[in-house]
Amino acid sequence: MNATAAVHPPAASPPVGRRCADCVHFDGAAGTLEREIPGLAVMSSGYASVRADDGVCRLHDRYLSGRSRCEAFTARTALHT
């Protein structure tokens, strides 16, 4: 995964609808995490409660919190209107 992408850490109160979890590029599916992070299932599971709302940003190729945000945010519904 790319460590140089400019993604901001989670804000104390991210604006509703502007968080990575609400972006079309974000994939928070547990199965995706288990496929893309070799060895994760050995330590625990992508379904574990400790990962909270974490996921993978397909645009930046990064594992991050769903509460993070970046300038490339694209609402999921924006592509379907």
- Domain-embedded: residue 61: yes
Number of domains within the chain: 1
61: left (phi over 0), alpha (psi -120 to 50) or beta: left
Is residue 47 within 8 A of residue 35, CB to CB? The reply is no
Is residue 26 within 8 A of residue 55, CB to CB? The reply is yes
Which pLDDT tens digit goes with each residue over 9-44? 555 555 566 899 999 999 999 888 888 887 776 666
What's the pLDDT score for residue 8?
A: 60
User: Phi/psi of residue 54, each to 5°?
Assistant: -70, 160
Tell me, what DSSP letter sits at residue 37? S
**Which residues, listed in sequence order, are joined to residue 55 by a DSSP beta bridge?**
64
- Domain-embedded: residue 7: no
- Domain-embedded: residue 4: no
List the domain range (segments joined by +) for residue 66: 20-80
- Domain-embedded: residue 37: yes
